[in-house]
Amino acid sequence: MTDDNDRPTGASYAAAGVDIEAGDRAVELFAPLAKKASRPEVIGGLGGFAGLFALKGGYKEPLLAASTDGVGTKIAVAQAMDKHDTLGLDLVAMVVDDLVVCGAEPLFLQDYIAVGRVVPERVAELVKGIADGCIIAGCALLGGETAEHPGLMADGDYDLSATGVGVVEADAVLGPQRVRPGDVVIGMGSSGLHSNGYSLARKVLLEIDRMSLGGHVEEFGRTLGEELLEPTKIYAKDCLALIAETDVRTFCHVTGGGLANNLARVMPKGLVAELDRGTWSPAPVFAMIAQRGRVERAEMEQTFNMGVGMVAIVAPEDVDRALAVLTARHIDCWTLGTVAKASDKQEGSDLVRMVGDHPRF
């Protein structure tokens, strides 16, 4: 149907809220950024219906590892600050650092960004962060999807997730089956809250304590918003370097659920990891949340990483070498505890026992 001036008067995709031209513009902006995050095994480029990756390297019995994750309600902080260029780093970290736990080298990642309305510059910021994260992790950004959801999401809202794929030789898979009594637990410092616990952090700091994201906080040496948006540390290459030079039994990526609950996932029955809180002091942001929200220690420890972003369990004879490798790679690291035989009654979360108190917490 047309009007008297021969103009279409029917419904259209654009009138329904989907701007295809804005989507095309977003691709133009982020395509050069994404191309930088590549590997020699990538076949073709962006724009196809599927990404192609040639599995090379003379593997004997390769196993593919896959992981999917997002960044949770940290997005709310980025949206409130109108700062979107670091969330991609968080997204990559949450995916690739899960892959490396079993010893897998991250190969490629594909992202999914859902938006209420495509703002090309904002989408480009998000993809830039993802591409930067892939470069740090040594994997390729093989492709992705940007979907506009008018009517379902508000114009300024968005969410993002990603799936990553890695590879590990079948006889080199890390995990509980390798852990032995006498092994040593090494902690690797986090860069802050990472991407977990933000619902509680926002509740305490922004609602209960009514702090301003733009307000300078002396304990942080920067604004609250800058502290909360500190990107998640990407440990993948550091963990792979540790595998290459020491006898690593397993890793543990400390995410939602906290240190003890996540470490229990890579502990075998019959053994217990005994960790000493006195070996490290959590960053000030953790103490601030605990104090201003009157959050009990048990709640803090099952919500936040408390300053430990990744854990390695190594053979006792390799402890010094492991610490030296990580220190040379500028990773804050220390001996967190040891592995011992467990009593018959210890199971589940009892596979990890935490003792002592944090200094200055």
The pTM assigned to this predicted structure is: 0.90
Q: What is the pLDDT of residue 112?
A: 95
- Is the pLDDT reported for residue 128 higher than 50? yes
Both tokens of 342, joined, read 């467990």
Between CA 90 and CA 133 the distance in angstroms is 8
Q: Which fold has domain 20-44+61-172?
A: 60s Ribosomal Protein L30; Chain: A; (3.30.1330)
pLDDT tens-digit series, residues 322-352: 999 999 999 999 999 999 998 755 554 589 9
Q: What is the pLDDT of residue 52?
A: 84
| Inter-axis angle of helices 87-99 and 74-81, nearest 10 | 160
Between CA 101 and CA 299 the distance in angstroms is 25
Where is pLDDT greater, at 102 or 40? Answer: 102
Tell me the C-alpha to C-alpha distance, in Å, between residue 27 and each of 30, 142, 287, 351, 359: 5, 14, 42, 48, 49
Quick one: 344 exposed, middle or buried, by C-beta within 10 A (0-12, 13-18, 19+)? exposed
In the DSSP assignment, the letter for residue 249 is E
- Is the pLDDT reported for residue 6 higher than 60? no
- C-beta separation of 90 from 136 below 8 A: no
Taking residues 217-228, what's their average pLDDT?
A: 97
Tell me the C-alpha to C-alpha distance, in Å, between residue 271 and each of 14, 37, 224: 60, 41, 41
* Residue in 329, 121, 98 with CA at minimum distance from that of residue 194: 98
Q: What is the pLDDT of residue 266?
A: 96
- Is the pLDDT reported for residue 20 higher than 90? no
Q: Which fold has domain 176-355?
A: Phosphoribosyl-aminoimidazole Synthetase; Chain A, domain 2 (3.90.650)
Burial 93-111 (b: 16+ CB within 10 A, else e): bbbbbbbbbbbbbbbbbbb
- Is the pLDDT reported for residue 259 higher than 60? yes
- C-beta separation of 247 from 308 below 8 A: no
Where is pLDDT greater, at 85 or 345? Answer: 85
**Cα torsion 147, 152, 153, 158: sign:** negative
Between CA 101 and CA 176 the distance in angstroms is 11
The one-letter code for the residue type at 330 is H
Model confidence at 13, pLDDT cuts 50, 70, 90, reads low
Taking residues 67-91, what's their average pLDDT?
A: 96
Taking residues 95-121, what's their average pLDDT?
A: 94
Model confidence at 38, pLDDT cuts 50, 70, 90, reads confident
Q: What is the pLDDT of residue 200?
A: 97
Residue with tokens 């410092």: 189
Model confidence at 22, pLDDT cuts 50, 70, 90, reads low
Q: What is the pLDDT of residue 168?
A: 97
Model confidence at 360, pLDDT cuts 50, 70, 90, reads confident
Residue with tokens 């890390």: 174
- Is the pLDDT reported for residue 42 higher than 90? no
Q: What is the pLDDT of residue 48?
A: 67
**Cα torsion 287, 88, 77, 296: sign:** negative
- C-beta separation of 41 from 55 below 8 A: yes
- Is the pLDDT reported for residue 24 higher than 90? no
- Is the pLDDT reported for residue 3 higher than 80? no
The one-letter code for the residue type at 2 is T
Taking residues 117-133, what's their average pLDDT?
A: 92
Torsion angle of C-alpha atoms 235, 240, 244, 245, degrees rounded to 10? 10
Where is pLDDT greater, at 145 or 211? Answer: 211
Q: What is the pLDDT of residue 97?
A: 98
Taking residues 263-280, what's their average pLDDT?
A: 96
Query: Considering the chain, what is the average pLDDT of its residues?
Result: 91
- The CB density around residue 202, as the number of other CB atoms within 10 Å, is 19
Q: Where do the H-state alpha helices sit in the chain?
A: 20-36, 74-81, 87-99, 120-137, 198-202, 224-228, 236-245, 258-264, 284-292, 297-301, 319-328
DSSP string covering 129-172: HHHHHHHHHT-EEEEEEEEE-BTTB-TT-EEEEEEEEEEEEGGG
Q: What is the pLDDT of residue 26?
A: 58
- Is the pLDDT reported for residue 121 higher than 60? yes
Annotated domain spans of the chain: 20-44+61-172, 176-355
Q: What is the pLDDT of residue 1?
A: 46
- C-beta separation of 192 from 343 below 8 A: no
Q: What is the pLDDT of residue 102?
A: 97
Q: Which of 55-69, 82-96, 218-232, 240-254 has the lowest mean pLDDT?
A: 55-69
